[in-house]
Amino acid sequence: MWLSDLSIRRPVLAVMLIGALVGLGWVSLGRVGVDFFPKVEIPIVSVTTVLEGAAPETVESEVTEILEEELSNIAGLDQLSSVSSEGQSLVVCEFLLEVDADAALQEVRDKVAAARRALPREIEPPLVSKIDPESMPMMSVIVAGDLSIAELTRYAKDGVEAALQRVPGVGSVDRVGGREREVRVWLDALRLRAYGVTADDVVQALQSEHADVPGGRFESDGGRAELSFKTEGEVGSVAAFADLVIVQRPGGPVRVGDVAVVEDGLEDARTYAELDGRPGVSLDVRRQTGTNAVEVSREIRAVLDSLRARAPPGVEIVTARDTSRFVEASVRDVTVDLLLGGILAVLATLAFLRSVRSTVIVATAIPASIVSTFLLFWWAGFTLNLISMIALTISIGILIDDAIVVLEAIYRRIEAGEAPMQAAAQGTAEVGPAVVAATLAIVVVFVPISFMEGMIGRFFFEYGLTVVFAVLVSLLVAFTLTPMLSSRLLRREASHGAVFETLESFYRALEDGYTRALTRILRHRAWVVALGLASVVAAVGIARSIPLEFNSHIDRSEFEAVVELPLGTGLTETRRIVRRAADELSRVPHVENVFTTIGADTQGRVSQAQLYVGLTHKSERDVEQAEVMEEARSVLAAAVPDAKRVGVNEVGFISGGGFSAFNLSYSLQGPRLETLAASAERVAEAMRASGLYVDVTVSYDASRPEVRADVDRSRAADLGVSLRGLATTLRALVGGIDATNYEEGGERYDVRVRLRPEQRDSLDELGLVQLRTRDGGLADLASLARLELSTGPVQIERENRVRKIDLFANLPPDVALGTASDALDGIVASAGLGEGYAGFHRGWGERMRDSLDAVKFAFLLALTALYMVLASQFNSYAQPLVVMATAPLSFVGAFAALAITGVPLSMFGQIALLALMGLVMKNGILLVDRANQLRAQGVGAREAMLQAGPVRLRPVLMTTFSTVAGMIPVALSSADGAEFRIPMGVLAIGGMLSSTLLTLAVVPVVYTLLADAQGALSRATGRRVRPELIRGGGGRPEPPVAPTAAAGERS
């Protein structure tokens, strides 16, 4: 081959070529980021609209439906979902993955702007933003100390939060548990009546009497001077708000202080945070999209260390949660597995070659290929993440396969007496076509993995291309560096040591045994074919018993819990109950810390608490995280018996985009909420009774306590009181309204008007509130509306403009997602949804089914590409089927390995099963290629295979055991994130071993059967069948080579 011949003649060129790739790869490594998952941009845009104080039904009809109608016409929209809750509408537009996220964002903004005129005037401007599934908080920092909550909040905001915002890569910092300064205007309903003033009058006075109004430009001296003109009307102190005039009366002006108490206070407490029982202000840090998580985390830690050194006395700054540590540990541990796999693969090769010099030549392919691959990382924008590092780990054993085959052929010729340079050229030429075909077989399997459809294809894009680039570099090394080094370093040995001779005797005995076995195999071909078919049938039977998962359960030494109390529970009561629960959790063995937040969800519900639980590292525990979670679930249920819901979940890696913290999500859709709710409860009860699910939750809840004002429209119309004006007044009195703001020291603070707390607690006193009529008179609220206690839905959800209710559940450790999903289908079918109602899997269940479809497509594409490559190599339409028959032979070992180890078939396992096809065909290619070479010399098919089998036995075993050895650290790993990799390692080892064993028997049988078919067809037709139809016509004839001491091969 010209490339190997050129490298042999010009060794410096070969070294410089590979050295250039390695050097560029090394430089690129320093510029590659570190993350847990690959960067995947999912085009999801959200529209958040606030209509303060509105009920979910009102938000749905007046905001959500209007926005949905406008947004549903956008091209490329895949799913439109919405949540209408108290005072807020959230519409989420999920686009097809092919749509550009920035273009989708602009399109949504345009549609929202068009719908603006149809929306209520009272809404706040809709917030349109992209949803980043990786934007979940990467770190939570709690600031605690002996200061008052106001001082602590001010320091957390101005000192810590401001410093964190300046860190490069930080996207946002959300504050939980603090209370900012706020000017409170507490209205007194009785004094309002006495002075004949309404709440609206007070609000208007604050807005009109407290304002700085620009007056334009003031020109003087004939236009030679110009000054800005401003009327300064803002008050200079908080106390001055009480002196603002509301209305002038004959007896004197009515001021704000006459009907209200002005207080320099704090905003309402709506959130809370504590760490191990100590309250404080929590800061949740999110990184910018596309930034290096580990690098950003390191910068944040450095800033926090600096802040701690300068913190006020008694103030602590504690990192409550840092997800980047798990990312760092996972990537570090994969790197260790990579090194161990490389070492084991080299040792396995050394056991066959029994020459340190030969092993070093082969081993150069590993670092050269791995380091060169980082050039692709930098060029393509890849990161060092779990997926790309797994790809390198998977490929570690196969990177030396090409070099092994080439060196073995060269070594055999040198031992037969050829000159090293001639042996290097002839040996490389002998196996070159087979090496190329074997490498291309791997490439055409991994390329479809990179281009699978849907979310799975995006996540595994880096995986496929990483393996492809690495094996292509290893092929280049095998055709340049390997023959060049072999021609310079290998020599025929006059004598060998005792270890060499002992192993040589073993290998010779192995080859002799295989020769005898192969003779018998070719005499009983029908039995061998039956054995092969039986292995396929057995594989199908075993596969049906293996549980199907989307993701493996990961022991991150951390988990989350949710405690949801009955609606209407106040913040103070929630704090008391949840602190008790946190205390009980902290006593669970292996729990190190408990970080609690209340009101931190998107809806700000004070009746719901989130608890982050940190555990001792799994290397220091004798129990799995799942067992600790089960105990925590029991402890929480006992500690909070009155809770509506208690849930314990794994910490999610991504959020949004259809991903949920729950293991299972299911959506019921239909027109009527009442019917949906009844069906959802029936399904939920059946799920709880089945024992297959825990933490079963229904998203719909109609028990939200509320006070409804039933307005007498006729009476209101007679008095000239508008319904919207009445609702606005009630909102100001009950919920409060930000009338204006106040500036002091360069900061602006809200001025909030609200009825005094003791007068808001009584419906009778609330009825005394007065409203202004059309003629300027006053009317009691009680004369216009009847106030009554009632209940309503917490939120109303819709999907593609149809109402829905979601069901969520987690799964016990021994229940797989596939099993639970199938069981849920049966439960829903038994429940009977009725006409016009339907159920759909969502979340991980939907992703799992999508991944199966994507893998099936990639499997068919890979099979087609494999056939084309092999047909081109062998110049035959039939012989590729001989080699491709080895793929099903790997399944029995792969599935048996999973069944024996109890490892479920996850998404990673499915990808490994697809990749296994390319790995196992290498053995068949080596056998068929050598047999074709012998047949080109005139040897019959049976005799050709009898000679080719023993000759190729050692390379086949070397490549198999080097691949298996490289996968052993992956299969046996207990490091962070190893649960993702274990199915791939176990499946690859089992598949490689079973395929190798069966290939050595089945391929010779199928090969000779095809040859017999050719002969029978020739005799039947009286014409010679063209070789390319059945027998390969592209094999290169080679002269017979004498047996060698090194290889023990017989031609």
Same domain, residue pair 207 and 243: yes
Tens digit of pLDDT for each residue in 342-393? 888 888 888 887 888 888 888 888 899 899 999 988 998 888 888 888 888 8
The CATH number of the domain holding residue 255 is 3.30.2090.10
pLDDT higher than threshold 80 for residue 1003 = yes
How far apart, in whole angstroms, are the C-alpha atoms of residue 557 and residue 592?
10
What is the distance, to the nearest Å, from the Cα of residue 544 to the centroid of all Cα atoms in its chain? 27
User: Residue 835: inside a domain, yes or no?
Assistant: no
Tens digit of pLDDT for each residue in 285-331? 988 876 777 888 889 999 999 999 998 888 889 888 888 888 888 88
Same domain, residue pair 29 and 52: no
pLDDT higher than threshold 90 for residue 38 = no
Residue 431 makes CB contacts below 8 A (sequence gap 6+) with: 405, 406, 409, 926, 929
Same domain, residue pair 777 and 853: no
CB burial readout 478-498, b (16+ within 10 A) else e: bbbbbbbbbbeebebeeeeee
Structure-block tokens of residue 311: 């913190």
What is the distance, to the nearest Å, from the Cα of residue 968 to the centroid of all Cα atoms in its chain? 26
The pLDDT confidence band at residue 213, using thresholds 50, 70 and 90, is low
Q: Which residues pair with 252 in a beta bridge?
A: 249
Query: Of 113-117, 387-391, 425-429, which gets the smallest average pLDDT?
Result: 387-391
Backbone angles phi, psi at 1031, to 5 degrees: -95, 145
Q: Which residues pair with 36 in a beta bridge?
A: none
User: Residue 319: inside a domain, yes or no?
Assistant: no
Residue that is written with structure tokens 């410096």 in the block: 12
User: Residue 674: inside a domain, yes or no?
Assistant: no
Per-residue confidence (pLDDT) for residue 883, from 0 to 100: 86
CB burial readout 1033-1048, b (16+ within 10 A) else e: bbbeebeebebbbbbb
User: Residue 90: inside a domain, yes or no?
Assistant: yes
Same domain, residue pair 61 and 126: yes
Average pLDDT over residues 119-127: 88
Same domain, residue pair 124 and 195: no
- Other CB atoms within 10 Å distance of the CB of residue 386: 24
The residue among 660 and 663 whose pLDDT is bigger is 663
Residue that is written with structure tokens 């603002």 in the block: 244
The pLDDT confidence band at residue 1048, using thresholds 50, 70 and 90, is very low
- Other CB atoms within 10 Å distance of the CB of residue 623: 14
pLDDT higher than threshold 50 for residue 399 = yes
Average pLDDT over residues 786-808: 87
Query: Of 100-104, 132-136, 369-373, 607-611, which gets the smallest average pLDDT?
Result: 132-136
Per-residue confidence (pLDDT) for residue 1013, from 0 to 100: 85
Tell me the three state secondary structure of residue 692: coil
Residue 63 makes CB contacts below 8 A (sequence gap 6+) with: 49, 51, 54, 84, 89, 119, 120, 123
Number of domains the chain is built from: 4
Residue at which a domain ends, from 603, 633, 650: 650
pLDDT higher than threshold 80 for residue 582 = yes
The pLDDT confidence band at residue 1042, using thresholds 50, 70 and 90, is very low
How far apart, in whole angstroms, are the C-alpha atoms of residue 68 and residue 665?
23
The residue among 702 and 661 whose pLDDT is bigger is 702
Average pLDDT over residues 13-23: 92
Average pLDDT over residues 386-415: 84
Residue 665 makes CB contacts below 8 A (sequence gap 6+) with: 806, 807, 808, 841, 842, 843, 844, 845, 846
| E-only strand ranges, 51-138 | 77-85, 88-95, 127-130
Per-residue confidence (pLDDT) for residue 494, from 0 to 100: 62
The CATH number of the domain holding residue 902 is 1.20.1640.10
How far apart, in whole angstroms, are the C-alpha atoms of residue 319 and residue 845?
34
How far apart, in whole angstroms, are the C-alpha atoms of residue 181 and residue 185?
13
How far apart, in whole angstroms, are the C-alpha atoms of residue 364 and residue 359?
9
Query: Of 239-243, 347-351, 750-754, 1015-1019, which gets the smallest average pLDDT?
Result: 1015-1019
How far apart, in whole angstroms, are the C-alpha atoms of residue 930 and residue 946?
11
Average pLDDT, the chain: 85
Q: Residues of the chain with pLDDT > 90: what percent?
A: 28
Q: Range of 932's domain?
A: 17-36+327-465+509-551+849-1029
Per-residue confidence (pLDDT) for residue 651, from 0 to 100: 82
Same domain, residue pair 202 and 249: yes
Backbone angles phi, psi at 1050, to 5 degrees: -125, 120
Residue 368 makes CB contacts below 8 A (sequence gap 6+) with: 18, 21, 22, 473, 474, 477, 481
- Other CB atoms within 10 Å distance of the CB of residue 659: 19
Per-residue confidence (pLDDT) for residue 590, from 0 to 100: 92
pLDDT higher than threshold 60 for residue 260 = yes
Query: Of 280-284, 586-590, 852-856, which gets the smallest average pLDDT?
Result: 852-856
Structure-block tokens of residue 493: 């040995």
User: Residue 282: inside a domain, yes or no?
Assistant: no
Same domain, residue pair 909 and 1025: yes
Same domain, residue pair 1024 and 879: yes
Structure-block tokens of residue 5: 């011949």
Rounded (10°) angle between helices 324-353 and 386-395: 10
Whole-prediction pTM = 0.79
Backbone angles phi, psi at 643, to 5 degrees: -65, 140
Tens digit of pLDDT for each residue in 966-991? 889 888 888 888 888 888 889 989 99
User: Residue 166: inside a domain, yes or no?
Assistant: no
Same domain, residue pair 88 and 23: no
Tell me the three state secondary structure of residue 688: helix
pLDDT higher than threshold 80 for residue 795 = yes
Same domain, residue pair 356 and 457: yes
pLDDT higher than threshold 70 for residue 662 = yes
How far apart, in whole angstroms, are the C-alpha atoms of residue 693 and residue 695?
7
The pLDDT confidence band at residue 1040, using thresholds 50, 70 and 90, is very low
Average pLDDT over residues 127-150: 83
Same domain, residue pair 124 and 237: no
User: Residue 657: inside a domain, yes or no?
Assistant: no
Residue at which a domain ends, from 743, 762, 792: 792
Of 612, 574, 579, 560, whose CA–CA distance to 270 is shortest? 574
How far apart, in whole angstroms, are the C-alpha atoms of residue 625 and residue 613?
11
Q: Which residues pair with 273 in a beta bridge?
A: 280, 597
Whether the Cβ atoms of residue 423 and residue 430 lie closer than 8 Å to each other: no
Residue at which a domain ends, from 792, 810, 829: 792
Written as one letter, the residue type at 228 is S
Tell me the three state secondary structure of residue 665: strand
Written as one letter, the residue type at 857 is F
Query: Of 674-688, 753-767, 974-988, which gets the smallest average pLDDT?
Result: 753-767
The CATH number of the domain holding residue 103 is 3.30.70.1430
Q: Give the N- to C-terminal CA distance of the chain in Å, as an integer.
A: 22
Per-residue confidence (pLDDT) for residue 959, from 0 to 100: 84
Q: Residues of the chain with pLDDT > 70: what percent?
A: 94
Same domain, residue pair 539 and 599: no
Per-residue confidence (pLDDT) for residue 135, from 0 to 100: 65
The residue among 1035 and 4 whose pLDDT is bigger is 4
User: Residue 636: inside a domain, yes or no?
Assistant: yes
